[in-house]
């Protein structure tokens, strides 16, 4: 009797708890609506919501599928009239009237194209990245797109990897800051604003660690590297409200990410409490068969579902293969319900049920404000890497310029990768800008020498050389076509393609001062050509307004302020190369023995030698965070508020930065630390904070950063985040290789 009373009480308690948690849920009108819909859905309709297909106009096969409730999302349909017709079919002719979510890759602009993300990263300016993403969202949503697959938050440490261009570079903190900014810009104040576009952080996770920089390739990542390097940007963007996430194509540590329960369930859902939609990458579920992880497409579908992938991008395996395991009881329908719940919730949050249609009056493309913003981002994204005798900015002693090279007038290619909707007719190239702005005051001798970046035909070389000889200065626009970076476009040779190196060499031999402007999707190998040129301005594909931005920089109407978001290698063979590497037991220090110094028939020797290359040494060409200006900045007076920092304490670090030159300029002030010893080895430097400040000539500013104990924690290989006691060095400086230095300790 006693027992049964106890049981009863326990049962009642559970019931009461359930009722109260249910009623807690029911109180949320969104959840209530989701539950109501879900309760009316057939299994087929549920699987339909989990299906994303590629658009193909108002075609019968799509329309019929929509009528049967068989499509949750369509990607790559961008005609607003077609979108509205398809939507009307979904809303008025499908049984439950659930609207479709239209998606598109809006990676760095819809119509107005901003610099490629790696270029935006060189601005180190979250406000600008956010403003750019806002423009993209306004433009894309005006065409009916409410979901995009950006930002890409994959850390890239290897310039061979074509997709390095789509992310924010090699550093977890910079990537986190800019990723959050992009999410905010895309999603706006609230998701149900008609101009908001749901962001999708991708590709989860470790996609940038592909072996040898070969796209889609295998990654082997230790737990501490995963958590210290690759995951933080995703965590930050999810905390900032990113609505959705895409899994990556590749496998890490033997498990393809589309079926990776550890990543998707344990980390994303449980640890991080991510409740947004997880979408596969294009066909990535089925590719688990090629990976050798699933026996069949049916097996792949089950594995992806159980791992936590809610929506199947273009693979159709959920619709085709999940009915029978659910009917046989092998897969619980509750798992499907959870996935559908997340998809419906997103549609409700986006306001699609209330406002399913997009207004079809003239959409808001290429407005003056958007173009101005695109130009500003392009200005701040360019990085000045060499400027002998202050050749730049060009002054008014210059009366004639030679404009040479395949990227001077390449309206398609300066837009960069992943441009589906931006039109080259709207691109303003450097040549067009020069003619427009300086055509009446300067003699412009245009002779490209090569028609496109891979062009090997030297028949126009003579004209280019003649143009150089006839001019006071050469502006040589080199680089890579848009198609040479991006998805599936990795390169083993990252130097200037085609005959550009030869053309540059011959032009330089004229003895005329040469300004080299490289427009590319990765930091191109330039080590051997750099001594030939007097100035070097680097621009990751700068987008629609690249021309006006670069010309303003060349003539000093704008002052360069960009800094490298990646380490710039001397030679491709140094890849992967990144500033926050480990020290090794034999770190290179002091004099490095070079290949030419080794005596003939030298005996085998390793003692005294260190971890470096005989032919490339230890250093990159330019360090992470590096970039010059037309002015100079001096760093003084480093102050730390304490010499020790405890568990719940903070440390204030500050210094004075002075503009010691003659023009106003912006400086990106960077704070790095080094933890000298840990229970897991720590990187030689880690960026912990940065700020971009603008100073007039002679002006000084105190730049202060607060470091918390949390900033000093790291993950070990047992999933523990630790704050260990020990010595740290802290630097505040202009890049990852220079800075004022202080020391502090962590204490218990």
Residues near ligand BGC (CB under 6 A) are: 105, 149, 202, 281-282, 487
- Write down the least CB distance from residue 203 to ligand BGC, Å: 6
**Residue 115: DSSP 8-state:** P
Please report where in the chains the tokens 């001798």 appear, as a residue. Answer: 445
Q: Based on CB atoms, which residue is closest to ligand BGC, 48 or 55? A: 55
- Write down the least CB distance from residue 267 to ligand BGC, Å: 20
- Are the C-beta atoms of residues 495 and 534 closer than 8 Å to each other? no
- Preceding amide of 205 cis, omega within 30: yes
271 φ/ψ angles, rounded to the nearest 5 degrees = -65, -45
From residue 236, alpha-carbon distances to 14, 31, 183, 200, 233 in Å are 36, 25, 10, 13, 5
Q: Based on CB atoms, which residue is closest to ligand BGC, 281 or 525? A: 281
Task: With CA atoms as reference, report the closest residue to 141 among 180, 183, 186.
Answer: 186
Alpha-carbon torsion 27, 28, 29, 31, what sign? negative
Distance (Å, whole) CA 174 – CA 625? 10
- Write down the least CB distance from residue 200 to ligand BGC, Å: 7
List, in sequence order, the alpha helices (H) in 230-389: 232-239, 261, 287-291, 297-307, 317-321, 323-327, 333-349, 368-381
Positions marked active-site: 281
What residues form DSSP beta bridges with 278?
245
Helices and strands (DSSP H and E) totals, the chain: 21, 26
3-state secondary structure of 142: helix
Print burial letters for 444-482: b (CB count within 10 Å at least 16), e (below 16): bbbbbbbeebbbeeeebbeebbebbeebebbbbbbbbbb
Q: Is the backbone of residue 97 left (phi > 0), alpha (psi -120 to 50) or beta? A: left
Residue 340 burial class via C-beta count within 10 angstroms: exposed 0-12, middle 13-18, buried 19 and up: buried
Q: Based on CB atoms, which residue is closest to ligand BGC, 230 or 728? A: 230
Q: Based on CB atoms, which residue is closest to ligand BGC, 105 or 312? A: 105
What residues form DSSP beta bridges with 655?
703
Task: With CA atoms as reference, report the closest residue to 280 among 316, 252, 254, 255.
Answer: 316
- Write down the least CB distance from residue 151 to ligand BGC, Å: 11
3-state secondary structure of 706: strand
- Write down the least CB distance from residue 472 to ligand BGC, Å: 45
- Write down the least CB distance from residue 281 to ligand BGC, Å: 5
Distance (Å, whole) CA 43 – CA 38? 10
- Are the C-beta atoms of residues 668 and 691 closer than 8 Å to each other? yes
Q: Which residues contact 20 (CB under 8 A, 6 or more apart)?
A: none
Q: Based on CB atoms, which residue is closest to ligand BGC, 290 or 505? A: 290
- Write down the least CB distance from residue 264 to ligand BGC, Å: 17
- Write down the least CB distance from residue 302 to ligand BGC, Å: 22
Q: Based on CB atoms, which residue is closest to ligand BGC, 106 or 655? A: 106
Q: Based on CB atoms, which residue is closest to ligand BGC, 284 or 524? A: 284
One-letter-per-residue 3-state SS of 25-72: HHHCHHHHHHHHHHHHCCHHHHHHHCEEEECCCCCHHHHHHHHCCCCC
Please report where in the chains the tokens 């897991």 appear, as a residue. Answer: 680
Cα–chain-centroid distance for residue 732? 25
Residue nearest to ligand BGC (CB): 149
Task: With CA atoms as reference, report the closest residue to 260 among 242, 281, 238.
Answer: 281
Element (H, E) at 486: none
- Write down the least CB distance from residue 321 to ligand BGC, Å: 21
Element (H, E) at 658: strand 650-659
Query: What are the tokens at 563?
Result: 């800094």
Q: Which residues contact 57 (CB under 8 A, 6 or more apart)?
A: 77, 79, 82
Distance (Å, whole) CA 214 – CA 488? 8
Query: What are the tokens at 321?
Result: 């293969």
Q: Based on CB atoms, which residue is closest to ligand BGC, 333 or 487? A: 487
- Are the C-beta atoms of residues 163 and 155 closer than 8 Å to each other? no
Furthest C-alpha separation in the chain: 107
Q: Based on CB atoms, which residue is closest to ligand BGC, 117 or 188? A: 117
- Write down the least CB distance from residue 315 to ligand BGC, Å: 12
**Kind of pairing between the strands at 535-540 and 383-387:** antiparallel
- Write down the least CB distance from residue 202 to ligand BGC, Å: 6
- Write down the least CB distance from residue 619 to ligand BGC, Å: 33
Element (H, E) at 670: strand 665-675
Q: Based on CB atoms, which residue is closest to ligand BGC, 341 or 489? A: 489
Query: What are the tokens at 23?
Result: 């009623």
CA-derived radius of gyration, the chain = 28
- Write down the least CB distance from residue 150 to ligand BGC, Å: 8
Q: Based on CB atoms, which residue is closest to ligand BGC, 77 or 552? A: 77
Q: Based on CB atoms, which residue is closest to ligand BGC, 121 or 737? A: 121
Q: Based on CB atoms, which residue is closest to ligand BGC, 282 or 672? A: 282
* Length of the chain measured in residues: 748
């Amino acid at each position: 009797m006693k027992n049964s009373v106890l049981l009863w009480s326990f049962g009642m308690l559970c019931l009461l708890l359930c009722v109260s948690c249910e009623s807690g849920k029911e109180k949320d009108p969104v959840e209530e609506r989701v539950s109501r819909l879900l309760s009316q859905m057939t299994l087929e309709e549920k699987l339909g919501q989990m299906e994303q297909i590629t658009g193909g106009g108002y075609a019968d096969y799509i329309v019929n599928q929509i009528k049967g409730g068989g499509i949750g999302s369509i990607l790559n349909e961008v005609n607003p009239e077609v979108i509205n017709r398809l939507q009307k079919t979904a809303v008025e002719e499908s049984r439950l009237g659930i609207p479709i979510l239209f998606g598109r890759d809006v990676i760095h602009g819809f119509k107005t194209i901003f610099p490629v993300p790696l270029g935006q990263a060189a601005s180190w300016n979250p406000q600008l990245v956010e403003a750019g993403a806002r423009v993209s969202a306004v433009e894309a949503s005006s065409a009916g797109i409410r979901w995009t697959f950006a930002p890409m938050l994959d850390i890239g440490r290897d310039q061979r990897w074509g997709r390095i261009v789509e992310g924010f570079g090699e550093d977890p903190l910079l990537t986190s800051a800019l990723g959050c900014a992009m999410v905010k810009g895309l999603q706006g104040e609230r998701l149900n604003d008609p101009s908001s576009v749901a962001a999708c952080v991708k590709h989860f996770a470790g996609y940038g660690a592909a072996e040898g920089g070969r796209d889609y390739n295998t990654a082997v990542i230790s737990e501490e590297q995963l958590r210290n390097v690759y995951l933080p940007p995703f965590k930050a963007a999810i905390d900032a409200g990113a609505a959705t996430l895409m899994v990556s194509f590749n496998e890490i540590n033997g498990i393809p990410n589309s079926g990776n329960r550890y990543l998707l369930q344990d980390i994303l859902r449980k640890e991080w409490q991510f409740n947004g939609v997880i979408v596969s990458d294009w066909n990535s579920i089925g590719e688990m068969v090629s990976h050798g992880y699933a026996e069949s497409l049916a097996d792949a579908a089950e594995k992806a579902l159980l791992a936590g992938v809610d929506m199947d991008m273009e693979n159709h395996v959920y619709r085709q293969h999940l009915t029978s395991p659910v009917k046989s009881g092998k897969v619980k329908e509750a798992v499907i319900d959870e996935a559908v719940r997340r998809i419906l919730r997103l549609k409700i949050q986006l306001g699609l049920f209330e406002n399913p249609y997009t207004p079809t009056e003239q959409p808001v493309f290429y407005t003056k404000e958007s173009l101005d913003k695109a130009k500003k981002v392009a200005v701040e994204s360019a990085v000045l890497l060499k400027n002998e005798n202050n050749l730049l900015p060009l002054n008014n002693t210059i009366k004639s310029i030679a404009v040479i090279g395949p990227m001077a007038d390449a309206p398609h290619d300066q837009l960069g990768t992943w441009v589906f909707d931006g039109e080259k007719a709207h691109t303003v190239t450097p040549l067009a800008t020069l003619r427009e702005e300086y055509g009446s005051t300067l003699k412009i001798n245009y002779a490209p020498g090569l028609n496109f970046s891979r062009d090997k035909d030297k028949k126009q070389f003579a004209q280019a050389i003649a143009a150089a000889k006839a001019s006071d200065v050469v502006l040589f626009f080199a680089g890579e076509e848009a198609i040479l970076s991006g998805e599936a476009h990795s390169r083993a040779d990252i130097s200037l393609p085609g005959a550009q190196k030869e053309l540059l060499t011959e032009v330089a031999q004229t003895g005329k001062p040469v300004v080299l402007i490289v427009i590319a999707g990765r930091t191109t190998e330039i080590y051997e050509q750099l001594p030939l040129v007097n100035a070097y301005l680097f621009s990751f594909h700068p987008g629609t307004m690249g021309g006006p931005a670069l010309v303003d920089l060349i003539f000093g109407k704008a002052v360069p302020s960009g800094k490298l978001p990646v380490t710039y290698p001397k030679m491709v063979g140094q890849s992967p190369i990144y500033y926050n590497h480990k020290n090794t037991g034999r770190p290179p220090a002091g004099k490095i023995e070079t290949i030419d110094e080794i005596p003939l028939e030298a005996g085998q020797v390793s003692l005294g030698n260190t971890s470096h290359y005989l032919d490339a040494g230890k250093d990159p060409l330019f360090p992470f965070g590096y970039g010059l200006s037309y002015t100079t900045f001096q760093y003084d007076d480093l102050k730390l508020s304490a010499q020790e920092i405890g568990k719940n304490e903070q440390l204030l670090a500050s210094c004075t930065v002075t503009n010691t030159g003659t023009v106003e300029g912006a400086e990106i002030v960077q704070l790095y630390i080094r933890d000298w010893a840990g229970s897991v080895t720590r990187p030689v430097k880690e960026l912990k904070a940065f700020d971009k400040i603008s100073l007039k000539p002679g002006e000084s500013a105190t730049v202060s950063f607060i470091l918390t104990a949390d900033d000093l924690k790291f993950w070990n290989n047992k999933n523990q985040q630790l704050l260990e006691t020990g010595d740290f060095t802290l630097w505040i400086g202009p890049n990852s290789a220079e800075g004022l230095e202080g020391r502090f300790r962590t204490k218990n």
